[in-house]
Amino acid sequence: MKVAVHNIEGKETAKKVDLKKDIFGIEPNDHAIYLDVKQYLANQRRGTSKTKERGEITGSRRKIRKQKGSGMARVGDIKNPIFRGGGRTFGPKPRDYDSKLNKKVKRLARKSALSYKAKDNNIIVLEDFSFNTPKTKEYLNILNNLDQLNSKTLMVLSDANKNIFLSSRNLKKAKVVRASDLCTYEIMNANKLLILEGSVKEIEETFNN
């Protein structure tokens, strides 16, 4: 699939890149995408929620009232879960939400996500560029030139570029990643993928290994 290369002024150049069909043109597998996104979101959870159970509450063990004859329900001490300030029944405990997913499934999910973006014409290939210093205004100018100022964008670089990363860090809807760090969630969460020309080859090498 041939895609025109744009410059940072937002105009098409005479150059075109070939997006390989086995990465950007496969039949998307929705279940693989679901599994990968589910794993990603689960791994973001810290799992530190904790509530005190009956045995952890500080309080008297004295029985509130006698067992029979009051005409009311039987109760124990003040730490009973039915009382205000009592212990929590079956409350959350610290736990690890991390899960594992087969590498082939993860690769299929990312290819499926890229194929969806390519199918919907939501991929823009940009000429390689760099900033001399971190400048959010320059990054905003690029987005404005591409008419993506109000869209969620994911820019894919071939190598880490500190100046580009810092220029986008304060923008809520903009994210910058390396091609080797692409994940299904970020691909699907973005409205547009801004792929630098040099990172196309890096993506192909990453998914073919």
Per domain, the residue ranges of the chain are: 2-46+101-208, 51-91
Do the beta carbons of residue 160 and residue 168 sit within 8 Å?
A: no
pLDDT of residue 207: 84
For the chain, which ranges sit under pLDDT 70? 209
Q: CA-CA distance, 180 to 126, in Å (whole number)?
A: 18
pLDDT of residue 168: 93
Which residues have a Cβ under 8 Å from the Cβ of 82 and sit 6 or more positions away? Answer: 75
Do the beta carbons of residue 142 and residue 167 sit within 8 Å?
A: no
pLDDT of residue 193: 95
Which residues have a Cβ under 8 Å from the Cβ of 30 and sit 6 or more positions away? Answer: 112
The pair of structure tokens assigned to 25 is 């043109």
pLDDT of residue 1: 80
| Long-range contacts at 36-41 (CB < 8 A, ≥ 24 apart) | 36/101, 36/105, 36/106, 36/109, 36/110, 36/183, 36/184, 36/185, 37/109, 37/184, 37/185, 37/188, 39/99, 39/100, 39/101, 40/183, 40/184, 40/185, 41/185
pLDDT of residue 118: 93
Give the HSE-up count for residue 144: Cα atoms under 13 Å, Cβ half-sphere: 6
Q: CA-CA distance, 192 to 194, in Å (whole number)?
A: 6
Do the beta carbons of residue 63 and residue 77 sit within 8 Å?
A: yes
pLDDT of residue 209: 67
CATH of 2-46+101-208, one of 3.40.50.1860, 3.40.50.2300, 3.40.1370.10, 3.40.50.300: 3.40.1370.10
Q: Which amino acid is at 119?
A: K
Q: Which of 190, 176, 183 is nearest to 43 (CA)?
A: 183
Which residue shows structure tokens 């630098």? Answer: 196
